A and B are shown apart, each in its own frame.
Chain A
């Protein structure tokens, strides 16, 4: 057994973990970054399209280019890292068990940063009835098979779910000459980013059918067809609207789930809204000295935001490892009308400045985003449009941490304004 001690262990080398490792090192900590894949960069490596780095680097990078930029920073900062090494166990004492090709490693850390990313929702989680043939893939798996392994996964493709990965794969497969029949979305609106809907579907003439879903799957060995039907606002299927679509491939782009199995082993409490850890505004979880950032904490729209979170968390974890502050817990942020989740979920009682990230429950037009601190309104902004697929970030400069903070959406009454 290999034994090792370190100030900070970072688990996962996607945009979140890379940023966290760089900033922890630059803040003076002794860091080890551990990645399961044979390469650094996480999910970015299979995202060969552009649109990365617009916020962080002011550049329009592809996924691998963005990863390269981050890896350069990592190497400049001199952060040691392991690839092909998977953390299989973590406990509350911050002892990690790592499988490496050289042997099993016990790593004892003063602080741990969880940056394991997410996995995709599958057919089983969606509970789609029907047969179980070959030819059903989640969009991210299809992306890997096509972009990394150079494999043609089918001929006639239906995509269920208008998540970003699905939209990007619709375009990708169309470019590679596959017949992308349509994208089917259960919500009355596209759930991916607007730019992806325009650039991936509309520009390529791929139809998007809203308020509809796949209710049956046909074909014994390889997929032969799916049955599509309309749904009402409460997602009840209208069986008079069924349509059988012949296809040999079904891609699912129906949501990402933070990968928190390891976090649970370390006693980290999870938020059922995000499926990620509950954290305070230093991104410390309920387990002292364990931090979380990136998609394992909550699903980010773009890699840049995951990295930004990582930069912040790396610094905080370094401060913790040096004993600059202690676990506090703090006061829960209240989730008001129209808000689906807020991160962080707690505000420490020694902080007056805090950044809140949140999503809305449904698309709203002409509303106010309001943050109250006790009885005071500390933030107020009128917005013409907010949608669930876009994360909102706001900074509060001087709050009273002893008083409740609540985020909510208020619909502007046209008659009054």
Chain B
């Protein structure tokens, strides 16, 4: 592969995807290398999906400024790229009188950071807003919102791809060198990619990846956050419900997050762990999540749970060192020119991603003129979501294409047509989890019980592959081991 790309991005999390899309408006040859099977294969799929308002972080820090700036992009991005956002508002709830001081501090920070609409409310007003929530007082943040983090990544990446960016999956960067001002990037399958610029948005691996060529002493302290997902409970809460932030400043505390699909997320916990990829759930934390969340939302105890998951924060400090926070690292390396490192992009990284992307574009733009690509198309259409349509629209679609008339996933009412659209996604992702992220088949209360056999059938037909070639996500997650009976025996 002798081609020299203008820019290689390492990692297709939300930061890599936002950057790919931001760069795709210029006349540049951009390539994204990702070790997982799909975009949002790591932290960017396992978080709270909250579009933070920006009152939490220290005024003047990158975390604060890029959060507030990032927030301001979301509505437009959602309009252009057709992924869901909803500004449902948030209550940060003080359980006792002595926590009001904490709320005031947040108000103060929010004011300094330029967050709009914050107000303190009392217990009575809490009940007015959220009848099921208990609290003494709360800070109401009307501009806080939610999105689907993986649909957002898919939308950003598909639009980038439409505008010429290539994505290569199942490809881990294993070594970096520089020959005559050109980066030589080695990957897991032995191939080599070359580029003029190299951008490291490798999330949890970003310190390691930077140290493949740069000299620095960044170190990653993985901090796991576990969650519960409930079955649909539309009526319990309308807004995000947060406790006052933990005193150690490590996290925002276990909160309750309604999702766009009517489920509720409980979490995340915060626990420093050994391994960067240990996303297992643990009994102790699962019990704690239920206990703590029911303190301010008692009816959550009755909720039915459909799944657990965990995401890992890319922290650059360990609280035992006395450090309370570390800012995002977003910079061109001092000695390795045109290598930009994005390290420690933890919360509010999802919210900040569009602003982080613009900041990186700025760094590049200072060094060389970026030429607008007049063919750039800012719009991307999401596939149809049958369940969201009116009866008349549903009827019309089925008449146009009978594949809309076969429901494959009964819990989420997903049609065969939607599964086919997911299978034929522009990024060429071909795994079961890829289908699930794109059309929600298998995300409901039966967790794929009814639809998995049918999806396997549709996948083998559509791709012309055998079932052994179907993977849950990466190539060691195979689902099947051949046939039970030889075909000949069947007849």
Contact = CB atoms under 8 A, between A and B. Distances in A.
Interface of A: 1, 36, 84, 86, 88, 97, 99-104, 106, 119-120, 122-125, 127, 129-135, 138, 140-141, 144-146, 148-155, 176, 215-217, 220-222, 261
B117 interface: no
Contacts of B476: 220-222
27 contacts: A1-B391, A1-B392, A84-B406, A86-B410, A97-B391, A99-B404, A101-B406, A103-B395, A103-B398, A104-B398, A120-B449, A122-B307, A122-B449, A124-B305, A125-B306, A129-B286, A133-B477, A144-B453, A148-B453, A150-B487, A151-B456, A151-B482, A152-B480, A152-B482, A153-B481, A154-B481, A217-B280
Interface in B195-248: 228-229
B125 to A, nearest CB: 32
B391 A153 contact: no
Contact residues on B (Cβ < 8 Å of other chain), bracket:
35 or more
Nearest to A145: B453
B477 A36 contact: no
Nearest to B304: A125
B484 A152 contact: yes
A103 B399 contact: yes
A130 B281 CA distance: 5
| Most A C-beta atoms less than 10 A away, residue of B279, B410, B487 | B410
Contact of B391 (A86, A100, A104, A131): A104
A129 B283 contact: yes
B376 interface: no
A149 to B, nearest CB: 6
Contacts of A221: 472-474, 476-477
Interface of B: 228-229, 277, 279-283, 286, 304-309, 391-392, 394-395, 398-399, 402, 404-407, 410-411, 413, 415, 445-450, 452-453, 456-457, 467, 471-474, 476-485, 487, 490
Nearest to B302: A272
Contacts of B308: 124, 127, 129, 132
A174 to B, nearest CB: 12
B127 to A, nearest CB: 26
Given A124-B229, A150-B490, A221-B473, A215 B482 contact: no
B101 to A, nearest CB: 36
A119 B450 contact: yes
Which secondary structure characterizes the binding site on chain A? mixed
A86 B407 contact: yes
B481 A152 contact: yes
Contact of B453 (A127, A131, A149): A149
B483 A151 contact: yes
A172 B410 CA distance: 27
A100 B484 CA distance: 33
B280 A130 contact: yes
Contacts of A97: 391
A134 to B, nearest CB: 4
- Give the 10 A-B CB pairs with smallest separation, nearest first: A101-B405, A221-B476, A124-B307, A134-B472, A104-B395, A221-B477, A101-B402, A124-B306, A134-B477, A86-B407
B170 to A, nearest CB: 12
Contacts of B309: 132
A259 B404 CA distance: 23
Given A99-B406, A119-B449, A152-B481, 17 more contacts: A36-B410, A84-B405, A97-B391, A99-B405, A100-B398, A103-B395, A119-B450, A120-B449, A150-B490, A151-B482, A151-B483, A153-B480, A154-B481, A220-B476, A221-B474, A221-B476, A261-B411
Contacts of A124: 229, 305-308, 447
A99 B407 contact: yes
| Most B C-beta atoms less than 10 A away, residue of A100, A103, A140, A144 | A103
A141 B410 CA distance: 14
A23 to B, nearest CB: 26
Given A102-B402, A104-B394, A152-B484, A138 B479 contact: no
Nearest to B290: A127
B402 A152 contact: no
Contacts of A106: 391
Contact of A102 (B398, B474, B482): B398
A102 B402 CA distance: 7
Contacts of B474: 221
Contacts of B448: 141
A400 to B, nearest CB: 37
A99 B394 contact: yes
A84 B229 CA distance: 31
A124 B411 CA distance: 15
Contacts of B450: 119, 141
Nearest to A176: B484
B307 A146 contact: no
A210 B43 CA distance: 39
B405 A127 contact: no
Contacts of B413: 88
Contact of B446 (A86, A120, A134, A216): A120
A334 B283 CA distance: 38
Contacts of B398: 99-104
Given A99-B394, A127-B305, A151-B467, A140 B280 contact: no
B467 A149 contact: yes
A99 B404 CA distance: 8
Contact of B457 (A101, A127, A131, A149): A149
A201 B411 CA distance: 33
Contacts of A101: 398, 402, 405-406
B467 to A, nearest CB: 5
A84 B473 CA distance: 30
| Most A C-beta atoms less than 10 A away, residue of B392, B477, B487 | B477
A127 B290 CA distance: 12
A36 to B, nearest CB: 7
B277 A220 contact: yes
Contacts of A145: 452-453, 456, 480
A130 B286 CA distance: 11
Nearest to A177: B484
A144 B406 CA distance: 19
A281 B411 CA distance: 30
Nearest to B287: A127
Given A122-B447, A149-B467, A100 B405 contact: yes
Contacts of B471: 134
A13 to B, nearest CB: 15
A274 B395 CA distance: 36
A122 B446 contact: yes
A120 B305 CA distance: 14
Contact of A129 (B280, B473, B490): B280
Contacts of A130: 280-281
Contacts of B483: 150-152
Nearest to A135: B479
B280 A123 contact: no
